[in-house]
Amino acid sequence: MSRRGRLAVFSVAGLGLAVLLVAAFLDARPFGTAFHPLGDASVRASLLERATANTVASITFDQRGLDTMGEEFILFAAVLGAAVLLRRDREEREAAAPDERREGRGQVGHMPEVIRLAGYLVLPFVVVVGIYVVAHGHLTPGGGFQGGVILATGLHLVYLAGDYPALRWLQTNRIFEVSEAAGAAGYVLLGLAGLAATGAFLYNVMPYGQLGQLASAGTVPLLNAAVGIEVGSGVVLLLAEFLEQTLVLREPGGNRRAGAGG
Amino acid sequence: MNLLPYLVTGWLFLAGLYGVVSSTNLIHTVVSLSVVQSATYVLLLTVGFRTGGTAPVFADIPLGTAVVDPLVQALASTDVVVGATVSALLLSLAIQVHKRSGTLNPDELRSLSG
Amino acid sequence: MSVLVAVALVLTAVGGTAVVLTREPVHQAIVLSVFGLLLAILFVVLQAPDVALSQLVIGAAVLPLMVLLAIAKVRRGERG
């Protein structure tokens, strides 16, 4: 179908969809309604029965933990798919080989010293904040998903700092592939522990403790940690797949100048 | 006025869809798709909002305070991360398409060869 | 409905439209980053800190970075 035909069909369909949406919205509950029966029941369950201060974390990992396992594995599969799609085929590997032998000593481009220093200075703070967000996910806003991506972006401060040899080491060492699999497996193992103890998968088998304490909410902190490791490693792997080509063929001020930004 | 959040949801959805339909660059298509996804996040949080409610975290507020619905927040927070990784998968597909056929313009991609 | 929520919603709608209407991919990545920030602000105003945390890191940092790297990879392929 031609471009004009496509846009014409879309304008008709889009108009119809808009009309239907407005009709549906006119019938919806008013914005800010006080009628949230499921939400109120979840809050009661989280505070009174499960001693979890962060009710969102209680729903994500305790009351509806199976859905989170599914979402975690969507992430796993997406990282796997991206890795498969972006693997270097034979011609690219041969083209890249001589440059790779020459690289490995220098740094990426001409990174100003200030940026490199700032990257190294901020990195430990970002890692600590990421671990804090994961560890306190059942008490304050945060958790495995949020802390995991903070950790992953923290690691890419190393890239911003221009430390090419460190990134090369990280990529060839397969450490993040192992940790991602370990995080995903950890979640399933905790679920199996619940299955073994009570016959229900992902049942919360650890003692609930007292509301507001660090050691509370049963298995929620452990599941948070597993998801944090898995999400963090997954996002690092994902970005590494995209960075790989733009890193390997860079030469500091050389003739084969290729890199981010075109 | 009470309809504004819902209208913003519908607008984002249709705008993103228009971007997907009228795009001439596969990467532009993927980014427009993420705008469509953001419309669902806004709808989820709109449905869960309670006037005068606060965040559903009881670390420092007394039990029994009115809070917004935490159920939709649980859905949305995992959705954001997973949606981004799926967008990354689509970007990888776009890169492969460009490698095989030399173009990112969906109008120029004809048969399923290569 | 408070003025803050209304302003945040309108800004988000404008941001989303801007993302779609920016055709050049590199510029679109920058606008996407700003849109991610506007969404995070909207989520905070709607009392959703968990969602805002995820959205801020993903929408303002990770996703635009991946888009830029994808563009770089494509352009390297065009040149090589």
The ipTM is 0.90
B1 pLDDT more than 80: no
Q: Return the structure tokens found at A62.
A: 């305790």
C-alpha span between A155 and A158 (Å, rounded) = 6
Q: Return the structure tokens found at C27.
A: 């510029």
Does the beta-carbon distance from C6 to B31 stay under 8 Å?
no
* CB nearest to B35's CB, from C19, C29, C58: C19
H/E/C letters for each residue in A168-229?
HHHHHCCHHHHHHHHHHHHHHHHHHHHHHHHCCCCCCCCCCCCCCCCCCCCCHHHHHHHHHH
Query: Between A and C, how many CB-CB pairs are < 8 A?
Result: 64
Query: Between B and C, how many CB-CB pairs are < 8 A?
Result: 135
A109 pLDDT more than 70: no
The answer to whether the beta carbons of residues A50 and A58 sit under 8 Å apart is: yes
Neighbouring chains of A at 3+ CB pairs under 8 Å are: B, C
A243 to chain C: which residues are within 8 Å by CB? 69
* CB nearest to C76's CB, from A142, A145, A245: A245
Q: What pLDDT score does A89 carry?
A: 66
Q: What pLDDT score does A94 carry?
A: 53
Q: What pLDDT score does A253 carry?
A: 39
Tell me the pLDDT tens digit for each residue of A80-107: 998 888 876 655 655 555 444 444 444 4
Confidence at A195, pLDDT banded by 50, 70, 90: confident
Does the beta-carbon distance from A146 to C70 stay under 8 Å?
no
Tell me the pLDDT tens digit for each residue of C26-74: 999 999 999 999 999 999 999 999 999 999 999 988 999 899 988 988 8
C-alpha span between B95 and B69 (Å, rounded) = 40
The answer to whether the beta carbons of residues C32 and C67 sit under 8 Å apart is: yes
- SS3 category, B94: helix
* CB nearest to B73's CB, from C23, C50, C74: C50
Q: What pLDDT score does A174 carry?
A: 83
Neighbouring chains of C at 3+ CB pairs under 8 Å are: A, B
The Cα-based distances of C76 to A88, A240, A245, A259, C1 in angstroms read 14, 17, 9, 7, 50
A217 pLDDT more than 70: yes
